[in-house]
Amino acid sequence: MVIGQGAAGLRAACAAAETGAEVLVVGKGSCASPEIMGFNCVTEPGDSFQCFYEDIMQAGQEINHTALARQLAEVSIHETEFLTSLGVTLDRKVDGSYHTLSTLGCRYPRLVHHQALTGVEEMRRMEQYARELHVEFMPRVTVTDLVVCDGRVCGAACIRNEDGSFFSIQADAVILAAGGGSAIHGVSTYPGICTGDGYAIAARAGATLVDMEFQQFEPCSFVYPEALRGKIVPTTLLRSGARLYNAAGEDFMPRYGLSSSNARKGPLSRAIASEIAAGRGTPHGGVYYDMTMLPRDMIVQGHSIFYVPAKAAGLDITQVPAEMAPASHTFMGGVEAEADTSTGVTGLFVCGEAMGGLHGADRIGGNAGAEVLVFGGQAGRSAAAYLTQNAQTVSGTQFQDAVRAFEARHAGYLSRTSGTPVSELRARLMKLMDRHVGILRDEAGLLTALSGLDRLESAFADACSGGGNGVRSLYEFSNMLLLGRMQVMASFLRTESRGVFNRTDHPDRDDSAWKKNIVFHLKNGRPVPVVRDCK
């Protein structure tokens, strides 16, 4: 069973099915994968796997899981062969070599791509291939919990999105590819269904979560017009000559020691947030991203996925600078995994944004597109190998006995027909996270956030689902509360600034005390943090 129908889940399904395994993919709904512009791999003269690995570790500021980082650097080139075999046409130069783009944090151009639509095209081709391999798909399904029998994952408790009805799926191995949790914030680049479900259900099943304080904010997302809020334009255009400047027309990047050649997403987001906080923001609370000097074809054709929505909203970014600010984006943290994507919970594998540890404190642009392919493929192969080595199947009776607790929880949620609408609580949570757990954090704000989470948790006990398909919102909010608590607790513990993580009351990086990871496990349903040396 693969949980998640984005690029990571599809890659995992293909890899598992190629071995002959029977595969079912369940998908909640829309995902972030269509926004993938391309993926990093080593193709340019002078570049090397070692150089790529060093860039990953430098961006992550040395708290990455080293085996995961090395695997990404060495294996991503092979995914070009896989996609090409499916019919994905990756852009090439006149000499036949890959047309690569420079991304923030890479010393060499590494981003191979299909126009700016790589995510859309690779998903289409992978789903087609998966169906040819007889992979089954069950869309519009929300997984509420993993089912564990005798210490091993043996399936999942689920609800149908249309009517909120409960059912369960028994499976001998589960691959978690459920994406991230950026919808915990009010302005996000991702769909509103990205509520951290994968993190929460894995934690409840006994998995360890790592690096939950590290969340990347996409530096350049529209703040105006309102219809575009949260939509991004890639920072790769800065390497091509585009400019960022504040309301006074100042190129503010040098103020923060940044340039178009060295700026990574974390420092750039911090610089933009600092300019806005200092009162140098645009009329709608951003900075200007000026692309008007670039060739029109580069924007209209090469970046149509960004140009077309802006034009439809009344903004021609080839003619007028756009107002942009950081928006909630990718979680660096997630379910802890080894290089084979195993999680420490028998029968559970993880890939994509649901997996933590790879990126450490910050992620290179283009590595999200690489990780879904590299570790999606690895997860599929590892899960299939696990099946061949563990022929014993949990009995149907054992499985149903374990499912009863989840059925009872669901019945309780369905009975909540009066009380505070959970939508109100969700709006309060997002406002709380935006205000106190954004790019710039401090002790006072984090303590306020913890108190606010306590109040929201108390209020949730009497929250109303509205019954039927509205019950999904209760599960989502429960997961958001758990995710928010882990993020705030880890942020409070880490008394330094590193990568995308910024404590204004502890502005310096402190390797002597904090070249470490913070990991969580649940005890009696509550997250317990442990500070640990890096792997």
| Termini Cα distance of the chain | 29
Burial 450-459 (b: 16+ CB within 10 A, else e): bebbeebeee
Please give the domain boundaries of the chain with CATH numbers for all domains: 2-214+329-389 (3.50.50.60), 215-328 (3.90.700.10)
Burial 337-365, CB ≥16 within 10 A → b, else e: bebbbbbebbbbbbbbbbbbbbbbbbbbb
- Altogether, the residues listed in the chain come to a count of 535
| Both structure tokens of 176 | 């978690």
Q: Please give the C-alpha separations between residue 259 and each of 239, 297, 326, 356, 364, in angstroms, as whole numbers.
A: 9, 25, 17, 29, 16
Q: Residue 354: phi, psi to the nearest 5?
A: -65, -20
Quote the pTM value.
0.92
The alpha carbon dihedral of 161, 165, 166, 167 has a sign of: negative
User: What is the C-alpha to C-alpha distance for residues 455 and 125, in angstroms, rounded to an integer?
Assistant: 46
Largest CA distance in the chain: 69
Q: Which residue has the tokens 């509360």?
A: 481
Question: How many CB atoms sit inside 10 A of residue 309's CB?
Answer: 14
| Whole-number Å distance between alpha carbons of 91 and 111 | 10
SS3 state of residue 397: helix
The pLDDT of residue 342 is: 98
Residue ranges of alpha helices (H) inside 19-77 are: 49-59, 66-75
Q: Are 127 and 117 in contact (CB under 8 A)?
A: no
pLDDT at 230: 84
DSSP 101: B
* Contact predicate 164/142, CB 8 Å: no
Spell out the residues 6+ positions from residue 527 whose beta carbon is closer than 8 angstroms to its own.
203, 482, 485, 486, 489, 520, 521
Phi, psi of 320 (to 5 degrees): -130, 135
**Based on the number of CB atoms within 10 Å of its own CB, is 377 exposed (0-12), middle (13-18) or buried (19 or more)?**
buried
Burial 130-168 (b: 16+ CB within 10 A, else e): beebebebeeebbbbbbbbbeebbbbbbbbebeebebeb
Residues 422/449, Cβ–Cβ less than 8 Å: no
- Strand 215-222, strand 243-245: pairing: unpaired
Strand partners, 346: 152
Find where tokens 């984090």 sit. 446
User: Can you tell me the distance from the alpha carbon of 253 to that of 56, in angstroms, rounded to the nearest whole number?
Assistant: 23
Positions in the chain short of pLDDT 50: none
**At which residue do the structure tokens 């999200």 appear?**
368
% helix / strand / coil in the chain, to the nearest 5? 40, 20, 40
One-letter amino acid of 345:
V
Q: Any idea of the CA torsion for 46, 52, 57, 61, to the nearest 10 degrees?
A: 60
What six digits make up the tokens of 270? 């911090």
Query: CA 115, CA 124: separation in Å to the nearest integer?
Result: 15
- For residue 377, the cross-strand partners are none
d(CA 27, CA 492): 34
Neighbouring C-beta atoms of residue 226, cutoff 10 Å: 9
Helix locations, 164-295, DSSP H: 197-204, 265-277
How high is the pLDDT of residue 392? 73
Could you give the CA distance from residue 140 to residue 181 in angstroms, rounded to a whole number?
18
User: Residue 279 burial by CB count (10 A; 0-12/13-18/19+): exposed, middle or buried?
Assistant: exposed
